[in-house]
Amino acid sequence: MKYIVAALLFVFASPSYAFEEDNFFGDHALRQEIRELQREVRQLKKRVSALEREAGNSGNSKRWGCYLDDLKAGGLYGTGFTKAEAKGRVLEKCADKEGTCFESRVKCSTED
């Protein structure tokens, strides 16, 4: 009887041990893949910052300028790389000065 119980324990314990070993090696592979992905993310961040510096230094990039003349806040001017950015800056300044801010009253043009 003791031998049967021991044999059953051995049989049922072996697959669980093998599963733990597979899981251990799976965790190692997963950790390795995470390290590779983190390294690639760092490389992409460096490339993005380099491209942003190049875009900021280029003299031929167009900038937008927007103007809003308000009775309460006065004449407000904002610039940006896009029309939406420039409009947003003007409207933000107008709101800070508690003026009457309507997007339809903002006039924008590109700076050449």
Shared domain for 53 and 95, answered yes or no, is no
Specify whether 77 is located in the same domain as 36.
no
Domain ranges, residue 18? 1-58
Is 52 in the same domain as 68?
no
Both 4 and 38 in one domain: the answer is: yes
What mean pLDDT comes out for the span 7-28? 59
Phi, psi of 33 (to 5 degrees): -65, -40
d(CA 95, CA 44) in angstroms, rounded, equals 37
Cβ–Cβ < 8 Å for 85, 62: no
Q: Is the pLDDT of residue 20 over 60?
A: no
DSSP code for 87: H
Q: Note the pLDDT tens digit of each residue in 80-105.
A: 888 899 999 988 888 888 888 888 88
Q: How many domains is the chain partitioned into structurally? A: 2
Verify that 28 and 67 share a domain, yes or no: no
Same domain, 8 and 51: yes
